[in-house]
Amino acid sequence: MSMIAAFYSNKSLLITGATGFLGKVLMEKLFRTSPHLKVIYILVRPKSGQTLQERVFQILNSKLFEKVKEVCPNVHEKIRPISADLNQRDFAISKEDMQELLSCTNIIFHCAATVRFDAHLREAVQLNVTATQQLLLMASQMPKLEAFIHISTAFSNCNLSRIDEVIYPCPVEPRKIIDSMEWLDDSIIDEITPKLIGDRPNTYTYTKALGEIVVQQESGNLNVAIVRPSIVGATWQEPFPGWVDNVNGPSGLIIATGKGFLRSIKATPMAVADVIPVDTVVNLTIAVGWYTAVHRPKSTLIYHSTSGNLNPCNWHKMGLHVLATMEKIPFESAFRRPNADFTTNNFTTQYWNAVSHRAPAIIYDFYLRLTGRKPRMLKLMNRLLRTISMLEYFINHSWEWSTNNTEMLLSELSPEDQRVFNFDVRQLNWLEYIENYVLGVKKYLLKEDLAGIPKAKQHLKRLRNIHYLFNTALFLIIWRLLIARSQIARNIWFFIVSFCYKFISYFRASSTLKI
Ligand SMILES: CCCCCCCCCCCCCCCCCCCCCC(=O)SCCNC(=O)CCNC(=O)[C@H](O)C(C)(C)COP(=O)(O)OP(=O)(O)OC[C@H]1O[C@@H](n2cnc3c(N)ncnc32)[C@H](O)[C@@H]1OP(=O)(O)O
Ligand SMILES: NC(=O)C1=CN([C@@H]2O[C@H](COP(=O)(O)OP(=O)(O)OC[C@H]3O[C@@H](n4cnc5c(N)ncnc54)[C@H](OP(=O)(O)O)[C@@H]3O)[C@@H](O)[C@H]2O)C=CC1
């Protein structure tokens, strides 16, 4: 019997960010392994014209939750959505709901965040720092609370190259930043943002670092732990391999590559691709919840959920695996044939962006115009290149993360718990994982039917022929122009023609001799 699963039975949990990528997988695993848990409160905001109930209904009816419904048929009764907006004071939670949360919650998993790299500092501070502070305040009023688990990111201190499982100080105290956001206007915030974030690449990593300091400073007597995942990817094993439902991180790049939009990227091929499957992060998080509540460590423990130091894979290898899979399982209606060239300097990046990305987009837009349709490819390409430029930092640096606490926790688990809540990334086979990831992107993100694979292969063959034809035509045109304008080109041309002529004549003569 799993000790961890038994621990969560009859518990009331509170999850923020439960509608997000990680939050959904966390909920799924909790219900599947501890079907007797009492209730999971989730803080949800109405979104895209959907009510809370509609959002929860959609999640429960997704493929991700199919297995849960078998082991926990009354799962819908155990999810209690609470209307909340983490950007509002007291999260805009009603008095009755707040009372229930305060009196019943046993464990908190705080996953909600803005993960956008371009978020305005005010917005990022509000969600990643102030909301964390408010949630801790709420937690301090919960008499039954046993543990508060905060999800941060392994990149919160990405300005360092070696990162230990400790909280690093920031030059300006989070409380001062929170206060200043209340009275500074946007233009001044824009001006001071680069100075505040310093050598971090964006407001996201900066505010996640501030969030950690808030957790450390304001947790009082609470049992608190922080989980720091690196680049979270599709599921490795559970509930089934390859599940993914958003384009963040690698998933968007896999689509862009498979559809032939993205063919080269500025990346350091040998840099470690620190991708970690979402189910590995979730298993660690659940185990951390149990350990923190039961063992009550004296200080706030940080757990790195990373792959680089235990089972490294670099971008070059990852790119090759992705391309090899796309040969077998191509995406439908690709714009060009998938390719993955890594460039390492700005000049070659700009060159390939012009030649391999923008030029085909311009030609395609021209074709759209000719056929009476609205051009759109260049706009799409420019947006994609902007997105890529924001991710570039993470594919051109390598980090070394220590994982002592994570390894310690693994050794504390019973063999059964190590099996049920496996977060031992050493067991991950990258080739198999990437194959399932690409397949998962095709099935769950692009919603493409596997029956369409032969047609997709046919389409790629056609693209290859067009590519050869286009290159040959381009070569001939350029050559013709050169010959018309340059004596040297003409000389080379006559030399080649006469050489070929002599070569063919020689063969003709020798074959006649034999006869
Ligand atoms: C030839 C090459 C071959 C390669 C071979 C393949 C190798 C395998 C690939 C491995 C490489 C992995 C590298 C990962 C590095 C990740 C590091 C994460 C580290 C930190 C981890 C964390 O701790 S935290 C979670 C990460 N947090 C995000 O990852 C949010 C990012 N994101 C945004 O901050 C916003 O997205 C941003 C960009 C502002 C635009 O913002 P925006 O307002 O302009 O618009 P949107 O957000 O609506 O997106 C606009 C359009 O970009 C599309 N798109 C969005 N993401 C995309 C994406 N990743 N790749 C492609 N396309 C993406 C989207 O689908 C839209 O497409 P469309 O226009 O057609 O609808
Ligand atoms: N994905 C990754 O690669 C990594 C993620 N992390 C961390 O993991 C955690 C989860 O990330 P992930 O699941 O990928 O992110 P998502 O963007 O998928 O999910 C974010 C969640 O936060 C919720 N949220 C955002 N704003 C509000 C708000 N104002 N009020 C209420 N809820 C809100 C979202 O709700 P809604 O659905 O309504 O928008 C959503 O449920 C984050 O803390 C992130 O920093 C760390 C490392 C890597």
Q: What DSSP state is assigned to residue 314?
A: B
Percent of the chain whose pLDDT exceeds 90: 88
Among the atoms of ligand 2, which is closest to the Cα of residue 24?
13
Residue 393: the pLDDT is: 95
Among the atoms of ligand 2, which is closest to the Cα of residue 126?
29
Token output for 169:
């100080």
The average pLDDT across 202-225 equals 97
Is the distance from the beta carbon of residue 262 to the nearest atom of ligand 1 less than 6 Å?
Answer: yes
CA distance 6 to 416: 12
CB 202 within 8 A of CB 390: yes
Q: How far is the CA of 209 from the centre of ligand 2 (A)?
A: 16
Token output for 191:
């001006």
Residue 470: the pLDDT is: 85
How many other CB atoms sit within 10 Å of the CB of residue 90?
12
Phi first, then psi: give them for residue 362, nearest 5 degrees. -65, -45
Q: How far is the CA of 391 from the centre of ligand 1 (A)?
A: 7
Residue 48: the pLDDT is: 82
> Average per-residue pLDDT in the chain?
94
Q: How many CA atoms lie within 13 A of 404 on its CB side?
A: 6
How many other CB atoms sit within 10 Å of the CB of residue 247?
15
Nearest CA to ligand 2 atom 3: 232
The closest ligand to the CA of 441 turns out to be: 1
The closest ligand to the CA of 126 turns out to be: 2
CB 177 within 8 A of CB 196: yes
Dihedral in degrees, nearest 10, Cα atoms 338, 342, 347, 352: -10
Nearest to 364 by CA among 381, 377, 351, 380: 377
Residue 156: the pLDDT is: 97
CA distance 413 to 404: 15
Q: Is the pLDDT of residue 507 over 90?
A: no
Nearest CA to ligand 2 atom 2: 232
CA distance 19 to 55: 8
Is the distance from the beta carbon of residue 460 to the nearest atom of ligand 1 less than 6 Å?
Answer: no
CA distance 287 to 407: 12
Q: How far is residue 406 CA from its own chain's centroid?
A: 21
Token output for 57:
């209904």
Q: Is the pLDDT of residue 486 over 90?
A: no
CA distance 417 to 399: 29
Q: Hunting for tokens 């923020």 — which residue is that?
A: 16
Q: How far is CA 448 from CA 149, 337, 440, in A?
A: 37, 18, 10
The average pLDDT across 460-484 equals 89
Give the tens place of pLDDT for each residue, 120-175: 999 999 999 999 999 999 999 999 999 999 999 999 999 999 999 999 999 999 99
Q: Is the pLDDT of residue 513 over 70?
A: no
Confidence of residue 512 (pLDDT cuts 50, 70, 90): low
Q: Is the pLDDT of residue 484 over 90?
A: no
CA distance 16 to 135: 10
Nearest to 205 by CA among 300, 119, 317: 119
Is the distance from the beta carbon of residue 45 to the nearest atom of ligand 2 less than 6 Å?
Answer: yes
Give the tens place of pLDDT for each residue, 344-403: 889 999 999 999 999 999 999 999 999 999 999 999 999 999 999 999 999 999 999 999
Q: Is the pLDDT of residue 514 over 80?
A: no
How many residues appear in the chain? 515
- Mapped to the 3 state alphabet, what secondary structure does 372-435 carry? CCCCCHHHHHHHHHHHHHHHHHHHCCCCEECCHHHHHHHHHCCHHHHHHCCCCHHHCCHHHHHH
CA distance 261 to 343: 16
CA distance 489 to 479: 8
Residue 475: the pLDDT is: 87
CA distance 201 to 393: 7
Q: How far is the CA of 117 from the centre of ligand 1 (A)?
A: 9
Rg over alpha carbons for the chain, rounded to the nearest Å, is: 28
CB 121 within 8 A of CB 80: no
Q: Is the pLDDT of residue 515 over 80?
A: no
